[in-house]
Structure 1
Amino acid sequence: MTSELVPPHPAETSTPPRLHYAWLVAAIAFLALVGAASFRAAPSILIDPLHEDFGWSRAAISSAVSINLVLYGLTSPFAAALMEKFGMRKVVTAALLLVAAGSGLTVFMTAQWQLVLLWGVLVGLGTGSMALAFVATVVDRWFVARRGLVTGILTAGSAAGQLVFLPILAMISEHYSWQVVALTVAVSALAVVPLVLLFLRNKPSDVGTVPYGAAPDHAEPAPPPPSGRGGAATRALSVLVGAARTRVFWLLAGTFAICGASTNGLVGTHFVPAAHDHGMPTTAAASLLAVIGIFDVVGTVASGWFTDRFDARKLLGTYYLLRGISLVFLPILFAATVHPPMIAFVIFYGLDWVATVPPTVALCRKHFGADAPIVFGWVLASHQIGAGLVAFLAGLVRDHVGGYDAAFYVAGGLCAIAAAMSLAIRGRTAEPAAV
């Protein structure tokens, strides 16, 4: 039997702790999200090396990335339900181990189906269990105050971790091999496991406290009603059935599908190959994505702060419109060297990268109450379906047309549609859509 490090109950200490335990939970969640993000940084820099080593087409390699992105989203609501049943610590630990196994075993692959199994299935399930529904669960359970801000910080950790890893992994790939990149990712995921086991807790009462910002006599929400023999799966599906009867769910799912298509699916997967097509070195292109990640931290944390104070619908409309404008201009900015207009794009786009998450989480919480983490998991599933579809289609476009310009123009137009959909969300609690 393993012993657990359990913080003392407040009654057992002579002085109250200076730092609320919720902030330690948020810090561990941040590190877990960064550890998982290390793999999500790898595909964009490994497409060309895998193409050269195995002769697989970019569309074929992108199909494994697509499966990963889709499973990342589809796993999320079930993982949120599993966290309700078994606790965050067990689910996150298992997820990190899946990421490490899926990435580490790629060094032994010899066939394309193995790439799909390891990159697509194993890592997709692992990263999906630590998707943004995990963020929503941490925030809802551990915070009453500063929810928007904490959502922004954790979301930034997930997205920025992915991008900041890029130049490191690109350098490793260039000086060593793609196999060393895969092993580096596995080690990064494993390194977070001890911290999760020692410090991550399921709910405030586990350490004798209340959520941050709650009154001392705050009562924890009642557990969800029994979901029958199906357990977590039935719970996740029943929440989906209820949410799918509302108009606001489909608007949020549609906008987030476009969000995924225009970030992870297109820029996250294909920016480096697109820049390389114009003669830019892979390390330079990866460094630009890392800079996007740095500005993403600023933009997403600021978005969380704004979400605590302003209309989430209007924030979403603004973010999507600005993102669409930037993507339309991107094709004319690619060149063999980095120049000021490209730097301007990187800063502008980086501020908007996942700024959409805090207001989307806030709208889920407003319209769906206690079911919000699972509902957001389904909304995230649409995000990843959009991302996976565009990751594959953009690779297909590159194989048949010889460039990515059309993909960027279409993504810009879709973002304009997402802006209009965001503003169409009603400001009051959702009601079932008319049939």
Structure 2
Amino acid sequence: MRRKPRYSIETERVVLQPPAKSSSFHYGWVVVLVAFAALLVSAGIRSMPSILIVPFETEFGWERSGISGVISVGIFLYGLVGPFSAALLAKFGIRRVMVFALIVLAASMSLTPLMTQLWQYELLWGVVSGLATGMMANVLGVTVASRWFVKRRGLVVGILTASAATGQLLFLPLLAQLTVHQGWRYAMYTAVGVILALLVIVALFMRNHPYDVGAAPYGADEVAEPEPFRGSIFLTPLLTLRDAVKNKTFWLLAGTFFFCGFSTNGLIGTHLIAACGDHGIEEVTAAGLLAFMGVFDLVGTTLSGWFTDRFDSRKLLFWYYGLRGLSLIFLPFALDATPAMLVVFSVFYGLDWIATVPPTVRLAAQEFGKERAGMVFGWVVVAHQVGASAAAYGAGLVRQFTGTYSTTFVTAGFICLIAALMALRIAKQASALRAQA
């Protein structure tokens, strides 16, 4: 007889009745569904500032550069918490960390309607919301995929990454409608209600490890007890970074991801709605464009995960960054042309908005091993968010002084073309390392 799992801190609960081995259904897919919902909501919350720029300018008289600065800090901290979040997930378990993050996020958003000063917005959204949503970001998806799946891991990473696009798809049009017709405070409280509902779902259904339900990871045959986390929550990620920076592949992954963040959530995710307003396009319509991108990114990023299981990740990155660069160079012309051209941009750009994540995760795992992949990728995401933070603030500043976003969009396009060439350099470097081994 297979012995019952004993209670431990790592498993978080006593499992009284493990499922039978013969069951064709794997609980890992329930975990993926719950994680998808959490990442979806987190991404929807992180996209909210893009619809608040104009209302805050109007109500509080704040300058666009000041509002963009708050968004920039939030984006940076969203990424910076990633490596430490990986350690927290390993130490305390996925469910506990997610519950804590959701409670903090709900508290932050509940207080936001009471603010009157820019520093209060900085504290609640730049700091608290940035850290809370950062605990439910890409590192969470990588952790779930690594623990629960041996087969279909790339596909799972693609699905969970695509949740960011779905978050925009579901949240932005609704929140934009509420902001325009009822006021931004109603939109904020609506989001709080969604967070509280998600909190209940996570508490009931999320599990930390396949061992918690007496199962092996999907695609594996052996039920193994998880290794307890050893090390410091704060020191271990720093030691991982110390080792990673000695590897040229890390710098190439971090560099391409810096450009990725600059060209996605930092620029388009933050400023597209405001840029559309400069061209006479209503806020709700502009939010619909972002949601439309979300539909195609859901498809594109899921397919990217499927491709990552089958093709060279470096070549995939070359095509993703190259095509994104061309679409951003096209964007200023689309804004000045017919609405149909903006739809073309939305489809083209949306297909690879965050399709870069699955192949980047795969490269990190191949280079640094499955056990350290989460933390290493967390530091790569820090570079992503530094780029996003620079774009969020820089684009707002350039718009304030020049009156247009066009220069920033074109610059971001050429930066993506550079990232495409860097992706090919990753291939050469990896080949050199294999030759030396």
2-side partners of 1:181 and 1:309: how far apart? 42
Aligned equivalent of 1:199, options 198, 205, 220: 205
Which residue of 1 is the match for residue 328 of structure 2? Answer: 327
| Aligned partner (choices 190, 206, 214) of residue 196 of structure 2 | 190
Measured after TM superposition, the shift of residue 223 of structure 1 is: 4.3
Q: Deviations over 1:270-316 (max 9, x none)?
A: 00000110000111110010000000000000000000000000000
Inter-partner Cα distance in structure 1 for 2:65 and 2:417 = 27
- C-alpha deviation, 1:102, in angstroms: 1.5
Partner amino acid, structure 2, of 1:186 = V
| 1:73 equivalent in structure 2 | 79
1:363 corresponds in structure 2 to 363
Q: For residues 233 and 394 of structure 1, what CA distance do their matches in structure 2 show?
A: 33
Task: Choose from 14, 19, 25 the match for 1:10.
Answer: 19
Whether the aligned pair in 2 keeps the contact of 1:364 and 1:372 (CA below 8 Å) is: yes
Alpha-carbon separation, structure 2, partners of 1:160 and 1:274: 22
**Aligned equivalent of 1:111:** 117
**Distance in structure 1 (CA, Å) of the matches to 2:215 and 2:327:** 45
Structure 2 counterpart of 1:10, which letter? P
Offset from partner CA, 1:239-266 (integer Å, 9 cap, x none): 1111111001111001001101100000
- AA partner of residue 402 (structure 2): V
SS of the equivalent of 1:98 reads helix
Structure 1 pair 95–179 and aligned structure 2 pair: CA distance change class (3 A): same
Q: How many angstroms does 1:37 deviate by?
A: 1.8
Kindly tell me: are residues 57 and 430 of structure 1, through their superposed partners in 2, closer, same or farther at Cα, counting changes over 3 Å? farther
For each residue in 1:208-237, what CA deviation from the matched residue of structure 2 results, as whole angstroms up to 9, or x when unmatched? 00100112x25466445x32xxx2111111
Quote the Cα distance in structure 2 between the aligned partners of 1:144 and 1:62. Answer: 41
Closer, same or farther in 2 for the Cα pair 1:157/1:6, shift >3 Å? farther
The equivalent of 1:159 in structure 2 is 165
Query: Residue 26 of structure 2 corresponds to which residue in structure 1?
Result: 20
- Counting matched residue pairs gives 421
1:29 is aligned to 2:38: no
Secondary structure of the residue aligned to 1:104 is helix
Deviation at 1:34, TM superposition (A): 1.2
Aligned with 2:58 (options 17, 35, 52) = 52
Range with greater deviation from structure 2 (16-25 or 421-430): 421-430
Q: Which residue of 2 aligns with 1:303?
A: 304
- The verdict on how the C-alpha distance between 1:5 and 1:64 changes in structure 2, with shifts beyond 3 A counting, is farther
Classify 1:330/1:7 alpha carbon distance in 2 versus 1 (closer, same or farther; 3 Å): farther
User: In the alignment, residue 397 of structure 1 is paired with which amino acid?
Assistant: V
* Alignment partner, residue 272 of structure 1: 273
Question: Aligned equivalents of 2:227 and 2:14: distance in 1?
Answer: 26
TM-score, structure 1 length as denominator? 0.93
What's 1:417 paired with?
Answer: 418
Partner secondary structure for residue 297 of structure 1 = helix
Q: Answer yes or no: is the 8 Å Cα contact 1:38–1:188 preserved in 2.
A: no
> In the alignment, is the contact (CA less than 8 A) between 1:247 and 1:430 conserved in 2?
no
User: What residue in structure 2 maps to residue 139 of structure 1?
Assistant: 145
Q: Distance in 2 between the 1:187 and 1:430 partners?
A: 52
CA distance in 1 between partners of 2:194 and 2:336 (Å): 33
Aligned residue type for 1:243: A
The 8 Å contact of residues 81 and 232 in structure 1, kept in 2 or not, is answered as yes
- The answer on whether the counterparts of 1:170 and 1:286 sit within 8 Å (CA) in structure 2 is yes
The one-letter code of the counterpart of 1:347 is: V
Q: Given that residues 164 and 291 in structure 1 are in contact (C-alpha distance below 8 angstroms), is that contact kept between their aligned partners in structure 2?
A: no
Matches within 5 A, 1:114-125: 114-125=120-131
Fraction of identical pairs, as percent: 51
Partner SS state of residue 425, structure 1:
helix
Q: Give the corresponding residue for 2:245.
A: 244
Displacement of 1:159 after TM fit? Answer: 3.0
Q: Note the residue ranges of structure 2 that are not aligned, 5 or more in a row.
A: 1-11
Aligned partner of 1:402 in structure 2 is 403
- How far apart, CA to CA, are the structure 2 residues paired with 1:303 and 1:157? 13
Q: Distance in 1 between matches of 2:157 and 2:402?
A: 40
Distance in 2, matches of 1:399 and 1:421, equals 32
User: Does the 8 A contact of 2:73 with 2:126 survive in 1?
Assistant: yes
- Classify the secondary structure of the residue corresponding to 2:219: coil
Contact 1:321 1:419 (8 Å CA) reproduced: yes
Distance 2:116 2:85 in 1: 31
Q: For 1:234, give the aligned amino acid.
A: L
Q: State the distance in 2 between where 1:7 and 1:357 align.
A: 37
Q: Does the aligned pair in 2 maintain the 1:70–1:384 contact within 8 Å? A: yes
Decide whether the 8 Å contact of 1:367 with 1:429 is kept in 2.
Answer: no
Equivalents in 1 of 2:335, 2:18: separation in Å?
57
